Amino acid sequence: MAWFRRNPLGLEALQRHLKDELALNPFVSRTDERPRRKHALTAPPQALGLIPEHAKSDVWSVVIDTRYPKGLVSLVVGRGDLTALVFSTGVTLPGRGASAEGASREVLEAAAGLVDGMPPADGSPPPPTGHVAIHVRTSRGIQRVMAAEGELVAGCHNLSPLYRAGLRLMAEILAMDT
């Protein structure tokens, strides 16, 4: 993807960029007031741009929350204009354009292949520092898994392919913003 080609350190550079964004904007929301994230997890299928045939089987949306020492970064993935990178500082970077749409499809496809092995969500609290919470919404409800970011990055977790697809999308969104 474009951002990784311009940044040879790849994942390390991406993580540093996300942490820097949080450090530059030190306000951290005490409540979960990020409307795009909430919309992805609670809106009816039609509001997410789903037609009835897709609403029965496909993954509706994916939210990947990563907690860093200075805040939370949420990747919200769905059809249309739902996709965005949302920082707890209040900054929202929309995921638009052909490269972001392609990367969004990759995330949704990766989630579709893994969702059956995920347990139902018991709420959607943010993960602790150094951890990632992955939410996948389908017609059956929300499935959620929490894992250490290091495990996901190293490929030691069964959801690593989904997380890596999410990182590629994050990189595309950041590339559009620069």
Please state the domain extents for the chain.
Answer: 2-177
Average pLDDT (39-56) is 69
- Domain boundaries 2-177, CATH class: alpha beta
Top pLDDT among 23 and 159 is at 159
| Residue 35 in this model has a pLDDT that exceeds 80 | no
* 49 Rama sector, left if φ>0, alpha if ψ -120 to 50, beta otherwise: left
| Residue 24 in this model has a pLDDT that exceeds 80 | no
The string of pLDDT tens digits covering residues 94-145 is: 888 788 888 999 999 999 999 988 998 887 788 999 999 999 988 888 899 9
For the ranges 12-26, 68-82, 126-140, the one whose mean pLDDT is highest: 126-140
pLDDT at 60: 86
pLDDT at 139: 82
> Which structure tokens are listed for 118?
């995920």
**pTM > 0.85: yes or no:** no
Closest among 75, 45, 49 to 162, alpha carbons compared: 75
Give the separation between CA 127 and CA 25, rounded to whole angstroms.
Answer: 20
